[in-house]
Structure 1
Amino acid sequence: MAGYTMHVISHTHWDREWYLTFQQFRMRLVDLVDNLLDLLDRDADFKYFNFDGQTIVLEDYLAIKPQNEGKLRKYIQNGRILVGPWYQLNDEFLVSGEATIRSLLLGHLIAEDFGVVTKVGYLPDQFGNISQMPQIFRGFGIDNCIFGRGLQLVEGRKTEFWWESPDGSKVLTMLMAFWYNNTQRFPEDPQAALEMANRAKNQLVPHVTTPHLLFMNGVDHLEAQDNLSGILKSIQEQLTEDQIIHSTLPQYVQAVKETHGEWETFKGEMREDRHCQILAGTLSSRMYLKQENEKSQTLLEKYAEPASVMSWVLGKEYPQDYLRYAWKLLMQNHPHDSICGCSTDQVHAEMMPRFAQVQQIGEELTHRALDFVASKVQTTEEANLFVFNPLNHDRSEVIEATVEFSLGPATRSGVHPIIEQAKGTDVLSIEVIDDEGKSVPYQIVNTEIITQQVLSPIELPLAQNFRRYKLLIFAQDIPACGYKIFGVRPSNKRPIGGSLSPEPNVLENEHLRVEIQTNGGLIVKDKNTGQTFVNCNVFEDVGDVGDEYRYVKPLHDKVYTTLNSSPSVSNVLDGPLCTKYRITYDFAIPESSAENDKTRSNALTVCQIITDVQLRKNSPIVEFTTTVNNTAKDHRLRVLFPSGKSPLSHPLLKGGRGYFSHAEGQFDVLTRPVRPPADWVNASPFYPQQAWVDVNNGQTGLAVINKGLPEYELYDDTQRTLAVTLLRCVGRLSGGGESPAAQKTPGAQCLGIYTFRYVMYPHAGKWEDAKVWKTAHQHNVPVRVIQTARHDGDLPGHLSFMRIEPANLVLSAIKKSERVDSIIVRLYNTTDEFVEGKFSFPGEAKEVNLVNLNEEFQRQLATSTNVVKFSVAPKQIVTLEVKRET
């Protein structure tokens, strides 16, 4: 192929925080932008600068230099500075699919405000790419992708190809095979500059399908090359057949498109891990960050936004500004150097206040919205429980609730005397009734006398005393995306008796029998299928001499498990609705690595592990809460669940049989082999998950559900054991010796006390048959309960604000539109089959439209109705817009 066009892209890759803190890097950012604006002012031949696909850099810069906003806007509007489509470049596997959509949505809003959105699906340094990214890009009108990690050049692979999502969405994709710095900075000498251009050309030519070559002029945190325009002229003067141009990513993409090549198609997720290219160890570095992120995401997506929509429909102002602020705070923690846990200790220390602030805002918004809705409900008791279900299916389950009865008026005098009188008195009996006045089974967990602040916008805080009951209630038929009221009143009735522990160290309900062995492992019998699982919830600890990016096994490792332990076991809660046992281990493991990381030390340290095993009435799951006091360094701690599953045939095996895991991803369920391909040298055998992972043989299966524990592995052992990582403890940012990332990070050893929550779910059939996602989401998104008083209201005792059917359609978002006064409802099809969907709601909508992920109109579905039917393709993401009657 003769006559190549070399597209030189001036850019920087902006890691907001990494081996320096955000504020340290921001000083460099301000210098970069100041110098860039000066360069654009004085050199008309320096045409373009690509700002890494981000818009958060505009906010970070203008917070310091607001006086330069006009100049920034000018150069963005005339196309010389290119920003967006992202808010920030988030890691794709460690955040929810909804969070990725929000980064693109917010990036579009900011870039639109500044003038122009760069419609390039830019993924320069994400540690692999999710399967549904082509569909997500298409949802924002982006038909292309340029990426750096996830696939590598192997024999026969070209740098241009189609990338296809499971729903069939395709984007034209270009691999930066020689990274985003293949012409990082041209030498000033004309001959040397030509030699650099030719080297880059010669690298690319064997692998490209078009005459257009991508030359990335920049790298992490580099400023624009201020003498570039002259250098490019000197190179062009020396070229005979080729041309070199100062270009942009959109111009390069358009040029490639116009060649109309016959490109091959790659389907699914990009996690090709030859030579640790995707840095898979970041799935488990600083696990506490992943847990806080899951908590924050769930709070905004499943509670604050849906509850705010409910209250908005009833007349309360929608808190758009606060929600956007909370999302921005959360997304500041989503870049790969942040959420992946691969930065300095100080960087990660500064992430925690962001998570805390997101949770403070989310909790307050949720409470205010639910309190407003509850105030509109007709209630009959002095104390009522408003139970909010944010999921798109009705629920009947044992729920946790707290109810308080006043012990006297609020005062300014601190502790009211009645609190002393109340101490030691008998617990008052209560009765729980549903909205039809029928008595509801409940179990008292504990009672206490408390003093609370009473806040008012017109008075100083007061103090008031209450008797608080912590209850378990068997709540039935809680409506989808709605609420149900339960009354609580003093009564002479005693709670129903009974036990879910028929004998010592045994938990049993309608579906499961759980026996605690002397070593602390569990024997779990599934009454519905007859399958038995042995040695469940055993802990395994191995050495790790890697770094924040990579798990590295010591040359002479020592593996420790709790199989031969003798833990203490005690029953800490029992009743007709729930029983709980506590298993306490003194787990002795090596205190650190030894002999220059070749092995583990002979000196042992005790890591106490306390696991609460819980079983609720009529529940098909075993719940675990495990607290670890980590006193060891340089190790990895996992919890194990042997599945005992036989091989299963699958198209990936081309007619053979083998072992596969099925894990929830972002708008997808991923099927993965037990081991990566043999030609992936130094590949990691562990994978990412969202809420659950499953292994089955077609007839029966076992799912493990988690909250914020994104790393799992399916062992290639006789029991096909599912392993979920709890802790990975290392002491270096990067062990490769590269500067400046080769820093000590003692905080990454994660010494101290950590708590983990996960679930075991035996089931019949495949994961699709068992609707594993439904059980997982029901566990991870529990109902929210607030107390409300007696009051008149127009709303009934139970109400569904909307329903999405069937259950194969999973709700992803209920929110207000970013641009207009309408409701946005997003859902996706988990299955490989077409689904006929039904969306219904009380009242009547002016119209219901299909919109894209950028909330732009696509087509009208219905007008003046409260029921809408629509078809959803396999693995399709659908966004609906509901315009209300005003």
Structure 2
Amino acid sequence: RLARMLVCEVEPWTALAARRAGHGRGPLTRAAWRALLLCHPHDTLCGCSIDAVARAMDGRLDDVRAQAVGLRDDAIGDLLGRDADAVRAVPDAWRPHLVLRNPAPRSRGGVAVVELTQLVRHVRVGPASAAGAAAPVVRRAPLRIDGVPGLQLLDREVAHERTEASRDDPYDDLVERSFAAVWVPEVPGYGLRALPLVEGRNTPSLPPNPVRVEDTAIANGRYELRVGADGLVTLTQQASGRRIDRLIAVEDRDDRGDLYTPSLRGPARPARFAGARIVHRGPLRGTIETRWQVRVRKGESAVLRVRLTLDADAHFLRLSVRGENAGRDHRLRLRLATDVANPDVFADAAFGPVRRLPLTVPPEDTVRETPPPTAPLHRYVSLSGERGGATVFSDGLAEYEAGDDGAVHLTLVRAVGELSRDDLPERPGHAGWPSPAPEAQCLGPFAAELAYLLHGAWSGETADLVERTADDVLAPIAGATIRSLTTV
């Protein structure tokens, strides 16, 4: 994810800023890459390391994330003509704008999720904050985005926002931040579009193929998604009539392995459906949340939430998974069904998609190690048959298993507690130094972002559709309010 941010957001906009404003940030960009590449030694990247190494990697990744956000935002400020030191001195002259950014090489429009920020009050910091009353609360009128026909509020929070300057203290404000789905005009490839925020209400206007909600069903003219009372999730592609029954399922299984090798024991335990509710009702975004009761082991259970989202005119389905791991020594997976039996499998890798053939190993070669049925993916895995195909996109989860029945199993959590064990039937002997790794039990919250696309059989045209959809899923148009603009 951070490598994608550096490639798609930092490098293009810092290069454009250097050309237009003369502010080159090449050394700082290389420093961010250097810190990221320190996380790429094989054992560190693959998770075959002790807790101290994993914690050190987490710290470096936090550092890279902070560098990347700063480089991107400074470059965007240069491209918009924003002088951080000059605007810090004239807060009364600020004119807030919603700045849309397109981190892809082609023009795109459609539904985007944006952050809209309004001032609540200024926050004094330092000696002046101890004397006198707090700054008055500013009256907040409804906001209208100039040039955007409609808006659907998704969430809202109150937070502190600091306006940074290189030659002065930060300027702190308490703000109300709204997250909204909007229908945006096309933004050029690697381009920006600044839209003024003015008082008023957006004129309601339906987008192409708006989302419609009925009970526990959502549709957008391309797909219809239904959740039955028994938890049966059905997805129908409306143009072709393709129908996927039992789209999602959740299963858990004991895993007595180590950080190198799984050692699965006993049958899989299917999660129990625990209900569904509508979260967003359109017309720009419709979301159904399903809840699943996962029995990790006798007396231990947890609730998993899977949100299924259709955006207006979108040709793919989004899935968002949230849960809390309370169990040890187990593997939790999400199963996504397709209608592609005995598929050809193409998995995205570092330099593009590769065809994954079943690994057939003679019995004598399994004495030292049994190959697992799982395989890695980079951004997506595609299944293809004579009559059609399906692709699952993953933003971070990197292990899948494709079955002959067309199902794709994605590993959500794999919890073990040892770097290496010497008593595994799948791999006799130690693969690494024996060492406890209690934090590899991954106790606590976890999350996953996925997407699902139905398409034709694998071809050049299909590969192009999958690549473009990967951009839409993993590097969508985004927007945030910059309150401290004075000119654009």
TM-score interval (norm. to shorter) = 0.7 to 0.9
How many Å separate the matches in 2 of 1:582 and 1:428?
32
Does the C-alpha gap of structure 1 residues 790 and 561 become closer, same or farther in structure 2, counting only changes over 3 Å? same
* Count of residue pairs brought into register by the alignment: 457
1:538 aligns with 2:249: yes
What per-residue deviation string (whole Å, max 9, x for no partner) do you get for residues 93-128 of structure 1?
xxxxxxxxxxxxxxxxxxxxxxxxxxxxxxxxxxxx
Amino acid of the residue matched to residue 136 of structure 2? I
Q: Deviations over 1:57-107 (max 9, x none)?
A: xxxxxxxxxxxxxxxxxxxxxxxxxxxxxxxxxxxxxxxxxxxxxxxxxxx
Equivalent residue for 1:620? Answer: 315
The correspondence for 1:605, drawn from 273, 280, 300, is 300
Give yes or no for contact 1:441–1:473 (8 Å, CA) kept in 2. yes
Structure 1 residue matching 2:307: 3-state secondary structure? strand
Offset of residue 664 of structure 1: 1.0
Q: In the alignment, is the contact (CA less than 8 A) between 1:387 and 1:786 conserved in 2?
A: yes
Q: For 1:579 and 1:767, how far apart are their aligned partners in 2?
A: 31
**Letter in structure 2 aligned against 1:352:** D
CA shift for structure 1 position 408: 5.5
Q: Is the 8 A contact 1:518 1:566 kept in 2?
A: no
Residue in structure 2 matched with residue 489 of structure 1 by the alignment? 198
CA distance, structure 2, for counterparts of residue 466 and residue 744 of structure 1: 45
Map 1:709-728; keep pairs closer than 5 Å.
Answer: 709-716=397-404, 719-728=405-414
The residue number in structure 2 matching 1:778 is 472
Q: Hey, what does 2:447 align to over in structure 1?
A: 755
Tell me how far 1:791 sits from its aligned partner: 4.6
> 2:360 maps to what in 1?
677
Alignment partner of 2:112: what SS?
strand
SS at match of 1:370: helix
Q: Partner letter of residue 691 of structure 1?
A: R
Contact 1:691 1:777 (8 Å CA) reproduced: no
Q: Specify whether residues 749 and 410 from structure 1 end up closer, same or farther in structure 2 by C-alpha distance, changes over 3 A only.
A: closer
Question: 1:417 offset after TM fit, Å?
Answer: 4.6
Does residue 403 of structure 1 match 2:116?
yes
Whole-Å separation in 1 of the counterparts to 2:155 and 2:206: 16
Question: Per-residue CA shift, 1:239-259, capped at 9, x if unaligned?
Answer: xxxxxxxxxxxxxxxxxxxxx
Deviation at 1:315, TM superposition (A): 2.1
- 2:105 corresponds to which of 369, 388, 392: 392
- The code of the aligned residue for 2:293 comes to D
240, 248, 253: which one pairs with 1:529?
240
Aligned-pair CA distance for 1:740 = 6.6
Hey, what does 2:379 align to over in structure 1?
A: 691
Give the root-mean-square deviation of aligned CA atoms: 2.5
- Return closer, same or farther for 1:749/1:411 CA change in 2, 3 Å cut-off: closer
CA contact (8 A) 1:709 1:725 kept: yes
State yes or no: 1:743 paired with 2:435.
yes
1:560 aligned to 2:246? no
User: Secondary structure in 1 aligned to 2:214?
Assistant: coil
Distance 2:254 2:206 in 1: 48
Shift in Å, 1:660: 1.8
Trace 1:114-125 onto structure 2 (pairs within 5 A).
none
Which deviations, in whole Å up to 9, do the C-alpha atoms of 1:317-347 show, x marking residues without a partner?
2222222221111111111111111111111
Closer, same or farther: CA 701–739 of 1 in aligned 2, 3 Å: closer
Asked if residue 431 in structure 1 is aligned to residue 123 in structure 2, the reply is no
CA distance in 2, matches of 1:479, 1:615: 24
1:666 to 343, 350, 355: 350
Contact preservation (8 Å) 1:430, 1:494? no
Q: Identity percentage over the alignment? A: 19
Cross-structure match for 2:187? 478
Contact 1:497-1:575 within 8 A present in 2 as well: no
Q: Which runs of 5+ in 2 are unaligned?
A: 84-93, 423-428
Kindly provide the CA deviation profile for residues 730-780 of structure 1, in whole angstroms up to 9, marking residues without a partner as x: 121111354971122111111111111111111234264332111012211
TM-score of the aligned structures, taking structure 2 as reference length: 0.87
Give the TM-score, by structure 1 length: 0.49
1:532 is displaced (CA, Å) by 0.7
Query: SS state of the match for residue 245, structure 2?
Result: strand
> Whole-Å Cα distance in 1 between the matches of residues 202 and 103 of structure 2?
32
Q: How far is 1:589 from its partner?
A: 2.4
Partner of 2:420: 734
How many angstroms does 1:404 deviate by? 2.1
Return the letter of the residue paired with 1:346: A
- For 1:608, give the aligned amino acid: V
**1:452 and 2:136 aligned:** no
CA distance in 1, matches of 2:375, 2:430: 26
Question: Is the contact between residue 388 and residue 481 of structure 1 (CA under 8 Å) also seen in structure 2?
Answer: yes
Q: Distance in 1 between matches of 2:459 and 2:390?
A: 9
Give 2:360's aligned amino acid.
P
Alpha carbons of structure 1 residues 453 and 392: separation in structure 2 relative to 1, 3 Å:
closer
AA aligned opposite 1:710? A
- The one-letter amino acid paired with 1:777 is D
Q: Deviations over 1:803-849 (max 9, x none)?
A: xxxxxxxxxxxxxxxxxxxxxxxxxxxxxxxxxxxxxxxxxxxxxxx
Tell me the equivalent position of 1:702. 390
Q: Secondary structure at the match of 2:65?
A: helix
8 Å Cα contact 2:277-2:290 kept in structure 1 = yes
**1:748 aligned partner, one-letter code:** A
Which piece of structure 1 moves more, 783-792 or 397-406?
Answer: 783-792
CA drift of 1:410 comes to 6.4
**Relative to structure 1, is the Cα distance of residues 739 and 790 closer, same or farther in structure 2, using a 3 angstrom cutoff?**
closer
Q: Per the alignment, do residues 642 and 407 of structure 1 end up closer, same or farther by CA in structure 2, a change over 3 Å counting?
A: closer
Greater strand share, structure number: 2
What corresponds to 2:136 in structure 1? 418
Secondary structure of the residue aligned to 1:541 is strand
1:355 aligned onto 2:68:
no
Q: Do the aligned partners of residues 689 and 774 (structure 1) sit closer, same or farther apart at CA in structure 2, a change above 3 Å counting?
A: same
Q: Distance in 2 between matches of 1:354 and 1:790?
A: 32
- Judged with a 3 Å threshold, the aligned counterparts in structure 2 of structure 1 residues 646 and 461 are, in CA distance, closer, same or farther, namely closer
Tell me how far apart the structure 1 counterparts of residues 294 and 159 of structure 2 sit (CA, whole Å).
37
Aligned to 1:119: none
| 1:188-587 superposed matches below 5 A | 295-375=1-81, 382-407=95-120, 411-412=124-125, 416-419=134-137, 428-434=141-147, 439-493=148-202, 495-496=204-205, 500-554=211-265, 557-562=266-271, 565-587=272-294
When structure 1 is superposed on structure 2, of 303-312 and 516-525 the one drifting more is 516-525
Supply the distance in 1 between the matched residues of 2:347 and 2:165 (Cα, whole angstroms). Answer: 48
Taking the aligned partners of 1:589 and 1:447, their CA distance within structure 2 comes to 34
1:575 Cα deviation (Å)? 2.5
Cα distance between partner residues in 2 of 1:575 and 1:764 = 28
The C-alpha deviation readout for 1:127-165, integer Å capped at 9, x for no partner, is xxxxxxxxxxxxxxxxxxxxxxxxxxxxxxxxxxxxxxx
Question: Contact (CA 8 Å) 1:694, 1:701: kept in 2 or not?
Answer: yes
More relative contact order in 1 or in 2 (CA 8 Å, sep 6+)?
A: 2
Q: Is the 8 A contact 1:545 1:634 kept in 2?
A: yes
Q: CA deviation at 1:360?
A: 0.6
Q: Secondary structure at the match of 1:645?
A: coil
Over alpha carbons, which structure has the higher Rg? 1
Letter in 2 for 1:471: A
The aligned counterpart of 1:174 is none
AA in 2 matched with 1:573: H
Is this contact kept in 2: 1:522–1:534, CA < 8 A? yes
CA 1:475 to 1:677, structure 2 compared with 1: closer, same or farther past 3 Å? same
